[in-house]
Amino acid sequence: MAATAETNGSATTKAKISEIPAVAHPLAQKSTEIASNIKYHAEYNHFSPFKFELEQAYYATADSVRDRLIKRHIASLFQVHALSFSAIQHEQWNETYSHYHKVNPKQTYYLSMEYLQGRALTNAVGNLDVQDAYADALKQLGHALEDIVEQEKDAALGNGGLGRLASCFLDSMATLNLPAWGYGLRYRYGLFKQRITKAGQEEIAEEDWLEKFSPWEVVRHDVVFPICAVLYPGDATENGKLLRLKQQFFLCSASLQDIMLDLRRGKVTTMRSCGLNSPPSTIAYTNHTVLPEALEKWSKAVMWKLLPRHMEIIEEIDKRFIAMIKSTRPDLEGKLPGLRVLDNNSQKAIVRMANLCVVSSHTFADNSDFQSEWELAKLASKKRLANYIVQVTGVSIDPNSLFDIQVKRIHEYKRQLLNILGAVYRFKKLKEMSPEDRKRTTPRTIMIGGKAFATYTNAKRIVKLVNDVGAVVNNDPEVNSYLKVVFVPNYNVSVAEMLIPGSELSQHISTAGMEASGTSNMKFALNGCLIIGTLDGANVEIREEFKPDPRFEEAKQFIRSGAFGSYDYNPLESLEGNSGYGRGDYFWLVATLRATWMPKKGWTKLTSK
């Protein structure tokens, strides 16, 4: 069935594999039975009796794992993609649904414009606790589980933190056995593939994660209508804005129609709760950031053109809200122009979506043996990451250097610019040192990753700057043994699974007051990574929970200090005493961390707490 393959240094012959029978064993426990089930799917589902290369092995393995999901496991969370009505469907889900239909508990419906769930195969075999059994079964078939996993493309259903947070919520609700449903759009194409050249970021094509098919879907061919292909069309043009509004309307309409099926069965409407995970959040309103793109505004002309009936309702909501404020809070009348839903500016009348949401919704390690094991595990993760970096970028990095990582979407408020200016400052200082002084410094590898939206010019300039700085630093013979700068392309969940375990220092330095939540910092912290961060978003909770060493607290609490623009602020004062540069507190903090990293025992103790 398969040609000679190498697994863990031992040859597995075609003749030996042919001895494994192709038999369906959906609930197999032994690795030999699992191997038979995988071979069964290869021969009968994918008609691949003579060819069992990585691609065929992945699809057959995925089908085998899906058997277990269908046969054994109750899913209290059933994710429905509103576009195709395709989902990971479970046989016993019907029993769960019948149970909830009888008991009628309060149910949650979670709507999100994005989901970033990562690789389903890795997630499934881990949660089913069959990872070792499948690894052994695939070894019998001439493959390694690690190689099979690499064949799966990340589902391109999102862009950044919004999608990752949504998937975390789904995982959490499923783990807690909550009666919850997830709704989203099944985009065929993700944001784009990112290629880094001397000119900076190039968008060469959208990510077609469905180039062939997804073995995890059960597609309803009788009701599928492929009308939602692209994640977030560019909104720089009128047509782009219209298409994005149509996508948002489609998600809400299709989801609510599915939810309303319960009403036709006589269900009680008060036992239903909806939450929308989208920057313009509505119903159970949670807004994670005050960025302009999150506080979305739509032109009244566009709304009237596409959704005239909805505009009539919005105007009525605005009218009643004004009347309510005047009758109950006359002290706020002077602020009504900024509070109301409609801004009837003669130049450009708009609908304030955030205001509409607020008006219309409700709120709602001191063990030495452990430290040694931790240090070895961290080094192994760093070596794995170093191998990945040289494969995708061609830049060789030293696993024994301090790995300093900042990965998130490229945006001015996330301040990748501050990070790279810090690298330039470090490069300048190293160039000024003697060779003997350089040998006494901490070698450091700075990794920055993330995508800049195609129409966001300044963000794309930051990507280019990072690559330009890397080209200079990495090719300087005096410095490149002590400092490397790498831009990691095509950052997604699978890449994060390589970067985060290998991290030792992670920068979450967003402008205070603008961070949505920044939950990736929790993943870094739980992987023994120290955080440099402003007191904003989830950094606040991490600081309270981990009780950090006071040496590493950033010097200012920015909002309280007036850094957002005190009227008597003099920008020249920030340069005085700082050798002609601003942000001296940031550079000092990074230098302090580098000095602390050198005595490895102390660093390991800090990161393994």
pTM, full prediction: 0.60
Band of the pLDDT at 274, cuts 50, 70, 90?
low
Band of the pLDDT at 571, cuts 50, 70, 90?
very low
Instruction: Tell me what the pLDDT averaged over the chain comes to.
Output: 77
Same domain, 171 and 213: yes
Q: Please tell me the distance from the alpha carbon of residue 450 to that of residue 453, in angstroms, as a whole number.
A: 10
- CB under 8 Å to 527, separation ≥6 — which residues? 500, 501, 503
Q: How many other CB atoms are found less than 10 A from the CB of residue 573?
A: 10
Query: Looking at the predicted structure, is the pLDDT value of residue 569 above 60?
Result: no
Same domain, 467 and 584: yes
- CB under 8 Å to 68, separation ≥6 — which residues? 26, 27, 124, 128, 130
pLDDT of res. 28: 84
Last residue of a domain, one of 42, 68, 94: 68
Which stretch, 229-233, 300-304, 335-339, 458-462, has highest mean pLDDT?
458-462
pLDDT of res. 146: 92
Query: Looking at the predicted structure, is the pLDDT value of residue 292 above 50?
Result: yes
Q: Please tell me the distance from the alpha carbon of residue 477 to that of residue 485, in angstroms, as a whole number.
A: 14
Over residues 422-472, the pLDDT tens digits come to 899 899 999 999 999 999 888 999 999 999 988 888 999 999 999 999 999
Q: Please tell me the distance from the alpha carbon of residue 234 to that of residue 147, in angstroms, as a whole number.
A: 36
Last residue of a domain, one of 319, 341, 360: 360
Q: Which domain holds residue 196?
A: 75-285
pLDDT of res. 594: 62
Q: Are strands 200-205 and 193-197 parallel, antiparallel or unpaired?
A: antiparallel
Last residue of a domain, one of 344, 360, 376: 360
Q: Is the separation of the CB atoms in 256 and 78 below 8 Å? A: no
Percent of the chain with pLDDT over 70: 71
6-15, 58-67, 323-332, 348-357: the lowest-pLDDT one? 6-15
pLDDT of res. 530: 84
Average pLDDT (344-367) is 71
Query: Three-state DSSP class for 565?
Result: coil
Over residues 585-594, the pLDDT tens digits come to 666 666 766 6
pLDDT of res. 501: 92
Structure tokens at 17: 């594999």
* Residues 323, 325, 328, 332, CA torsion sign: negative
40-49, 66-75, 146-155: the lowest-pLDDT one? 66-75
Same domain, 48 and 155: no
Query: Looking at the predicted structure, is the pLDDT value of residue 52 above 60?
Result: yes
Same domain, 43 and 89: no
Query: Looking at the predicted structure, is the pLDDT value of residue 114 above 60?
Result: yes
pLDDT of res. 98: 67
**Residue for token digits 């105007």?**
315
Same domain, 140 and 157: yes
Band of the pLDDT at 188, cuts 50, 70, 90?
confident
Which stretch, 63-77, 169-183, 423-437, has highest mean pLDDT?
423-437
Compute the C-alpha angle 300/301/304, nearest 5°. 80
Band of the pLDDT at 368, cuts 50, 70, 90?
low
Average pLDDT (284-304) is 69
Average pLDDT (374-402) is 92
Same domain, 270 and 176: yes
**DSSP 8-state symbol, 534:** -
Would you call 94 exposed, middle or buried from its count of C-beta atoms within 10 A (0-12, 13-18, 19+)? exposed
Measured in Å, how far apart are the chain's first and last C-alpha atoms?
A: 50
CATH number, domain of 112, equals 3.40.50.2000
Same domain, 223 and 166: yes
Average pLDDT (204-217) is 78
Question: Which residue in 311, 376, 380 sits closest to 342, CA to CA?
Answer: 311
Query: Looking at the predicted structure, is the pLDDT value of residue 389 above 90?
Result: yes
Same domain, 267 and 375: no
pLDDT of res. 575: 44
Query: Looking at the predicted structure, is the pLDDT value of residue 520 above 50?
Result: yes
Same domain, 31 and 135: no
pLDDT of res. 410: 92
Query: Looking at the predicted structure, is the pLDDT value of residue 379 above 80?
Result: yes
Same domain, 51 and 156: no
**Residue for token digits 């006589």?**
266
Backbone φ and ψ of 454, nearest 5°? -55, -30
Q: Which residue has the higher pLDDT, 189 or 518?
A: 189
Q: Please tell me the distance from the alpha carbon of residue 156 to that of residue 209, in angstroms, as a whole number.
A: 6
Band of the pLDDT at 277, cuts 50, 70, 90?
low
Same domain, 250 and 392: no
Structural domain tally of the chain?
A: 4
Same domain, 214 and 316: no
